[in-house]
Amino acid sequence: METAIEKALGVMLENWDRLKKSQVDDAEEDANQFEASFYVLIEQIRAWFTRLEETPQSLDDAVLLPEMEKIVQRLPGELILNFETELELIVDGETRVEDEKYD
């Protein structure tokens, strides 16, 4: 697995663990850190896809790539659907429009 993806995955998994254990006072900050790290991972994967000689044409093909299989194996079950949704957008050449956040 590419180093940048491996590092982003590690940070995201650490933030997920922190979020799962967070107390009420820290929950919002932990959730924000997790969300940010999840999308950093997705952007690293998007950049990696642009360098592939032959890109997958479907989500099913994408998850069969050895690199993506390794990621899916390490993801908690609760995150697999979110990951596959983002991966499908990458395969389709789409970029998620981030909703505006209001404070």
Cα distance between residue 88 and residue 34, in whole Å: 21
Q: DSSP for 4-22, please give it.
A: HHHHHHHHHHHHHHHHHH-
Confirm whether pTM is higher than 0.85: yes
pLDDT of residue 4: 93
Helix (H, G, I), strand (E, B) or coil at 69: helix
Helix (H, G, I), strand (E, B) or coil at 51: coil
pLDDT of residue 102: 40
Half-sphere exposure of 81 (CA within 13 A, CB side): 1
77 dihedral zone (left: phi>0; alpha: psi -120 to 50; beta) = alpha
pLDDT in tens, the chain (103 residues): 689 999 999 999 999 999 998 888 878 999 999 999 999 999 999 999 999 999 999 999 999 999 999 999 999 999 999 999 999 999 998 887 665 444 4
Question: Residue type for 7, please?
Answer: K
Phi first, then psi: give them for residue 66, nearest 5 degrees: -55, -40
